[in-house]
Amino acid sequence: MSGAAIFAVWAGAVALVAMALAVTRPNVVHALIWVVAGLLSLASGFFALGAGFAGAVQILIYAGAIIAVFVFVVMTIDSGPAAMAAERARLATGWKGPLALVLLVLAPAVLGLAGAGGAGGAPQPVPARDLGVLLFGPWAVAVELASAMLIAALLGARHLARREGGE
Amino acid sequence: MTSGFLIAALVLATGLFLVGLFGLLIRRGVLFQIVSLEVMLTGPALAFVAAGAHHGDPGGQGMFVFVLVLAASEVALGLALYLRLSRHADTTDSDTVRELRQ
Amino acid sequence: MTPYLALLLVPMPAMGAFLLLGLGPAQFERRAIQTIALLGAVAPAVVMLPLGAYCLTGTCDGVQPIFDLTVGDAVVALALMLDPLSAIVGVTVTLIGACVIGYSIDYMAKADVADLRRYFALMNLFLASMLCMVLAGDSIVFFLGWELMGLCSFFLIAYHVTSPRAIAAGRKAFVITRVADAFLLAGLLLLFIEAGNVRLDVLIPAGIATEEVRRGLIAFLLLGGALGKSAQLPFHTWLPSAMAGPTPVSALLHSATMVAAGAYLLARFAPIMESVPLAMAVTAVMGAATALFGAASAVFQKDIKRLLAYSSISQIGFMLLALGLGQPEVAIAHFVVHAIFKSLLFLAAGDITQIARGTTDISAMRGALWSRPLAYLAFVAGAASLAGIPLITAGWFSKEAILSAAWLAGPFGVVLWGVALASAVLTATYAFRPVFTGLTRIGRPKASLGGLFTNLPILFLAAGTFAVAPLVEPIMNFLGAEMPHGPKAVELVGAAAPFIGLGLAAALTFVPTLSMRVARARRMRSGIRIDSIYQVIFVQPFVGLVRWLNGEKGGIADPVGTLPILGAERLAAAVIRPFAHDPVDRGWAGFSAGMVRAWGAGRRMQSGRVRDYVLALGLGLAAFLLIAWGTTWR
């Protein structure tokens, strides 16, 4: 494996650890910070793989916009020590089953993938221009549909989150 | 590993996805569950990009863009629902909050 | 075109008359009915006489086929046959039938049209069926005629439908002859099984060829059939009661023709009977016993018709005696002679009793010599033939032949001869009792003559009793046998018998003490009460059973019908009712209820808890991945 590939794998591993930590924090904000960490490491991995646009977009939009929105909302809630204690209590119990399930899913995936082999070669960088051609060419309709979905999500969120009259 | 980075990337992608799944299973708070969903989404994202890099196909990154769109919509709606829920219900425990009607 | 084709024409006119009168849709007037009936009765005689003459000329062994049915391996070939036996009997039957039906025109003149039509239709049907039986060339036509005769007998005995006595008599006659017919049918069927063909000329040789036990069975079955139809012991009880029918019916059916059908049966199947010595012995013994019993009972009768009925029983006993001795020709000769004088006696008595307002008591004969001289003299002629007055009457010749046959049949035959002789004496006794009663005069009776149709037949028959006398031996020869002659001494004793009887008759009539004892001899009059014995043994239990089955007297109504129903109910209760809530059905209901419960349980899957859904999704994912990984195995 080429150096870039090794780095990409390393970055992915880091992201994995960060995510694992993210889901197990009793404090929401801590969880979110760990998610950001994971996203950033993934982005670096993308860069190593030659997917520059993907990495950039990951930082800008995923970590920058989506998680930011998350943080805004979190700011409106009350996350005092009582809430954190409650979360901790909840976390302590009931993790064995899900862990077993996860491992149950992981095992065949990994084994299957491991047995596949033959996926040699160095990562090939994909210039952004090729992506642009793709998105505005053959996938243009899909892009339009995606934008329609965004509009629907916008309106839905606006509607669901509105305050009732007189509140 | 002579098999190249793709396998490793896919394994990592599976791992990310499963971490998210794990989080979804063990967390009861709705907000945490939304966070776990985000984590889950990074799995396929990594998979797509790695595959695209392996084949030199921009389609991988294109799919990543769509995954991103999906994540954005889902976060928006999820948080809106959470806000609604937190206003009307006493708790935000997803186990006890069963009906959205309240 | 053989002359035997004419055989088919013999029963046809009578059958045609029956169809017209019995089933014809048109209304007929009295004259029309009488004409049709007379034509239907006379035409067969007209056809039969030339056939009989043809038979005399030589070749007389013709079979006229009617049609064939092939049933598998067996061939059912229906046919009529003309041979000496059927020719003689056929001529006799047609002539007597014509006489009696002609006589009925006057006798039944007072009946109303509907009854008259019924009467003549049935008489013609009877004539047709008797002719079928006589001329039959196969057992099916034979049995058909036999059965139809029994049916007509029933209807004609019960002619006076308003009289319960007549209907009961008809029923008794039918039931008893039916029982005997069952035996006959069994015998004929066994023969058919042996022979595979129904033609008589095949059946009889096949019957002789069967092995001994079965042959004996067949012979006894045929004998049983003959005994029933001919009112012999033990089946005789129906004949005296059958006198409840009109006199011409008694004349035709129950004296001359039908009751002698048994004798004809045994004569026809004589080769088979002769091959079973035991059956022959039984026939002879039964014949002799019946002859004696009938004659003895006849002596004590108060009613002329019953007297003549017992006389028929006795005379047919004589015929059976002859048959049992191996002399069927003698029996048939006696049949012919008996037919003539017995029908004559009935017709004459009927004419005389009509004067006495229809009562048939012997006292009605009183003064008959003066009030109805023609009929009375004819009656005397008949009585003389019945008694067997030597040399001038036909009765003498045939009876003498029977006695001689008995004497010649060995030591046991001598016993039979003795019995027959005693019967002959008694025969003369009862025959002349009415004759002597007719000589007694009360008041000054006015002489009158009956109508033409009354007198012609009577005269014809009276002439016949004398005219046939020299013909008896030729008849026997024609049938293929010699007339038996015993030793002269025996013949003389036989000749004396009627005169002894005559003397007895005179004594019984004119000696008051004797006549009173006769009048009081109730048990003898009722035929030693055999009829009552049958009533107790057979009839009463049967009627009781029928009543019980009907539900009277504490039985279940129709147990044969209700038992299956009860059984079915019990079966239903035992087998079906446990399933009434139908476990299978209940199983299905339970299944559907279980499904509801399952769905209720399943609804709990919809917990509304996100984590539960995620869990489910995760499990599904795990499964898919496992499968997918499994597919990479090789």
In the structure encoding, which two tokens stand for residue C278, read together?
A: 């035991």
Closest C-alpha among C567, C41, C207, A24 to residue B36: A24
pLDDT value for C634: 66
Residues of B in contact with C610 (CB under 8 A): 24, 30, 33, 94
Q: Does B100 contact chain A (CB < 8 Å)? A: no
Is C82 exposed, middle or buried, given 0-12, 13-18 or 19+ CB atoms closer than 10 A? buried
Q: List chain C domain ranges.
A: 138-534, 539-632
**Residue A137 structural domain:** 128-167
Q: Same structural domain for residues A72 and A142?
A: no
* Per-position DSSP letters for C73-136, written without gaps between them: TEEEEEEEEE-HHHHHHHHHHHHHHHHHHHHHHHHTTTS-HHHHHHHHHHHHHHHHHHHHHHTB
| One-letter amino acid for residue B41 of the chain | L
C378-398 residue pLDDT tens? 888 899 888 888 877 788 888
Q: Same structural domain for residues A9 and A91?
A: yes
Question: Which chain B residue's Cα is nearest to C611?
Answer: B25
**Is A164 within the bounds of a domain?**
yes
Residues of C in contact with A111 (CB under 8 A): 629
**What average pLDDT does range C594-606 have in this prediction?**
82
Cα separation of B74 and C497, whole Å?
A: 143
**Is A113 within the bounds of a domain?**
no
Q: Given a contact as 3+ CB pairs under 8 Å, which chains touch A?
A: B, C
Cα separation of C277 and C275, whole Å?
A: 6
Quick one: CA dihedral C557, C561, C566, C572, positive or negative?
negative
**Is B30 within the bounds of a domain?**
yes
**Residue B41 structural domain:** 5-88
Is the confidence at residue A147, as pLDDT, over 90? yes
Average pLDDT, chain C: 84
**Is A150 within the bounds of a domain?**
yes
Closest C-alpha among B6, C292, C401, C171 to residue A124: B6
**Is B44 within the bounds of a domain?**
yes
* Cβ neighbours for A126, distance < 8 A, ≥ 6 positions apart: A50, A51, A53, B52, B53, B56, B57, B58, B60, B61
Band of pLDDT at residue C198, cut at 50, 70 and 90: confident
Q: Same structural domain for residues A122 and A149?
A: no
Number of domains in chain A: 2
> In Å, how far are C287, C293, C321, C332, C494 from C399, measured between CA atoms?
13, 17, 11, 11, 9
Residues of A in contact with B28 (CB under 8 A): 90
Is C498 exposed, middle or buried, given 0-12, 13-18 or 19+ CB atoms closer than 10 A? buried
Q: Same structural domain for residues A122 and A147?
A: no
> In Å, how far are C258, C335, C420 from C341, measured between CA atoms?
15, 10, 19
Residues of C in contact with A115 (CB under 8 A): 632
Three-state DSSP at C69 gives strand
> In Å, how far are A14, A16, B61, B96, C387 from A55, measured between CA atoms?
16, 17, 9, 39, 152
**Is B65 within the bounds of a domain?**
yes
A16-34 residue pLDDT tens? 999 999 988 888 888 999 9
Residue C324 near residue C256, CB atoms below 8 Å = no
What's the ipTM?
A: 0.86
Closest approach of C607 to chain B, Cα-based (Å): 7
State whether C619 and A101 contact (CB < 8 Å).
yes
Q: Same structural domain for residues A89 and A133?
A: no
pLDDT value for C579: 64
**Is A58 within the bounds of a domain?**
yes
Q: Same structural domain for residues A30 and A4?
A: yes
**Is A108 within the bounds of a domain?**
no
pLDDT > 70 fraction of chain C, expressed in percent and rounded: 95
* Cβ neighbours for B73, distance < 8 A, ≥ 6 positions apart: A149, A150, A152, A153
Is the confidence at residue C193, as pLDDT, over 50? yes
By mean pLDDT, which of B34-43, C186-195, C559-568 is the weakest? Answer: C559-568
Q: Same structural domain for residues A79 and A61?
A: yes
**Is B94 within the bounds of a domain?**
no
Q: Same structural domain for residues A87 and A134?
A: no
Closest approach of A31 to chain B, Cα-based (Å): 8
**Is B96 within the bounds of a domain?**
no
**The pTM of the whole model exceeds 0.90:** no
Mutation target to probe the B interface, by most B beta carbons within 10 A, among C607, C613, C614 is C614
Number of domains in chain B: 1
Beta strands in A66-164 (DSSP E): none
Q: Does A80 contact chain B (CB < 8 Å)? A: no
**Is B99 within the bounds of a domain?**
no
Q: Same structural domain for residues A122 and A155?
A: no
Q: Same structural domain for residues A137 and A162?
A: yes
Q: Same structural domain for residues A96 and A26?
A: yes
A34-77 residue pLDDT tens? 999 999 999 999 998 888 899 999 999 999 999 998 888 888 77
Is the confidence at residue A166, as pLDDT, over 50? no
Question: Which chain A residue's Cα is nearest to B21?
Answer: A102
CATH of the domain at A91: 1.20.120.1200
Q: Same structural domain for residues A132 and A122?
A: no
Is the confidence at residue C139, as pLDDT, over 70? yes
pLDDT value for C137: 87
Cα separation of C6 and C439, whole Å?
A: 48
C23-73 residue pLDDT tens? 777 787 888 888 888 888 888 888 888 888 888 877 777 777 877 777 777
pLDDT value for C445: 66
Find tokens 């004797």 and name the residue.
C514
State whether B3 and A62 contact (CB < 8 Å).
no
Cα separation of C361 and C440, whole Å?
A: 15
State whether C611 and B30 contact (CB < 8 Å).
no
* Cβ neighbours for C323, distance < 8 A, ≥ 6 positions apart: C263, C266, C267, C270, C273, C280, C283, C284, C287, C331
Residues of C in contact with B99 (CB under 8 A): 608
CATH of the domain at B13: 1.10.287.3510
